[in-house]
Amino acid sequence: MSGRVKPKRIRSPRIVPGHEYGSRWQLLLLLALLAGIGWQAYSFGVRQGGFLETQSSEELSRLKQELEQSNAALKEARAEAVRYRRQAEIEVNASRALQEQLAGIEKENAALKSDVKMLRSLISGENGSLYVRNLLLQPLDEPGRYRYAFTLVQVLEKVDVTKGKLLMKVSGKLKGKRKRLDRSEFSADGEKVLKLEFSNYQDVSGEIALPEGFKPESLLIEFLPRNKELKKMSKRFTWKDALAPRPEIPPGVQHQEE
């Protein structure tokens, strides 16, 4: 029996066309081109970003400088406002002090006019060259105790120093009977007279202690000068008139000379 040969299928090798290799190179070239373009875009972005960053830094620096200048101007404006406020307060206080000074001057002028009138009458010889000015009597808390103050004035020009003795007497009633008290009876020092020596005027003040039940009616003030050019001064004041509302008299006895 003759053998039968089975035919086999033979595969032919695949032939790749040459244009496929060209496509690969084109793709690589395209990728390289895109990479270059991307790099250029990145570099441009970096350069552009750096420019914007520099510009922003400069703008920020400028704004900071303007802010510092504004803060300095604001600080100066506040300091100036404080100076103006202080100046205004000083002017207000000065104005108030000036008003008080003017009021004091007006009061002093009124007193001086009164003094001029009195001095003219004294110089004319109506009352002599010695007189008592501004007698004040003020009751104290303890019954029968009073504080007194007055000024003894001498206006004769040719007398440089006035010397003499001051006497004070309080007249009134005690248990319905008239009674007169010398200075030694109501003064704390127990002295009947007070020796004085002054040029133009002498301020005198002290306290009066009256006996229980004594009702004062008048106060007699006398000055016995040792100067030959001066005459004795004697002036009586009603107690009621001397007790008119007056400023408070400072405590103690004063002997002030000017």
Residue type, 220: L
Domain membership flag for residue 5: no
| Structural tokens at position 175 | 């248990």
Say yes or no: 154 and 225 in one domain.
yes
Say yes or no: 97 and 166 in one domain.
no
| Spatial distance between the Cα atoms of 207 and 139, rounded to a whole number of angstroms | 10
| Structural tokens at position 190 | 């127990």
CATH number at residue 204: 2.60.40.150
Say yes or no: 63 and 138 in one domain.
no
Q: Are 182 and 170 in contact (CB under 8 A)?
A: no
Domain end (from 127, 162, 196) = 127
Domain membership flag for residue 160: yes
**Per-residue model confidence (pLDDT) at position 253:** 46
pLDDT digits (tens, 9 = 90+) for 22-36: 667 777 777 877 777
DSSP string, 114-174: HHHHHHHHHHTTSS-SEEEEEEEEEE-SSTTEEEEEEEEEE--TT-SSEEEEEEEEEEEEE
pTM: 0.50
Is the pLDDT at 65 greater than 60? The verdict is: yes
- Which among 188, 255, 184, 193 is positioned nearest to 222, based on CA atoms? 193
Domain end (from 127, 146, 165) = 127
**Per-residue model confidence (pLDDT) at position 213:** 93
Is the pLDDT at 202 greater than 80? The verdict is: yes
**Per-residue model confidence (pLDDT) at position 234:** 94
150-178 average pLDDT score: 92
**Per-residue model confidence (pLDDT) at position 104:** 85
Say yes or no: 49 and 96 in one domain.
yes
Q: Are 151 and 134 in contact (CB under 8 A)?
A: yes
| Structural tokens at position 74 | 């604001």
Q: List strands edge to edge, sheet with 201-209.
A: 130-139, 145-154, 201-209, 256-257
Say yes or no: 37 and 122 in one domain.
yes
**Per-residue model confidence (pLDDT) at position 257:** 39
Domain membership flag for residue 114: yes
Domain membership flag for residue 15: no
Position with higher pLDDT, 3 vs 147:
147
Domain end (from 99, 127, 155) = 127
Is the pLDDT at 20 greater than 60? The verdict is: no
Number of domains composing the chain: 2
Question: CA end-to-end span of the chain, whole Å?
Answer: 183
Residue type, 214: F
**Per-residue model confidence (pLDDT) at position 119:** 61
Is the pLDDT at 124 greater than 50? The verdict is: no
Say yes or no: 144 and 119 in one domain.
no
90 lies in which domain range? Answer: 23-127
Say yes or no: 67 and 142 in one domain.
no
CA angle, residues 173, 177, 182, in degrees to nearest 5 = 55
Residues belonging to the chain: 258
**Per-residue model confidence (pLDDT) at position 108:** 80
Say yes or no: 133 and 237 in one domain.
yes
Residue 45 pLDDT class (50, 70, 90 cuts): low
Residue 115 pLDDT class (50, 70, 90 cuts): low
| Structural tokens at position 35 | 């990479």
Domain membership flag for residue 211: yes
- Which among 185, 242, 190 is positioned nearest to 211, based on CA atoms? 185
| Spatial distance between the Cα atoms of 171 and 220, rounded to a whole number of angstroms | 8
Say yes or no: 118 and 232 in one domain.
no
Say yes or no: 166 and 47 in one domain.
no
| Spatial distance between the Cα atoms of 123 and 139, rounded to a whole number of angstroms | 35
Domain membership flag for residue 165: yes
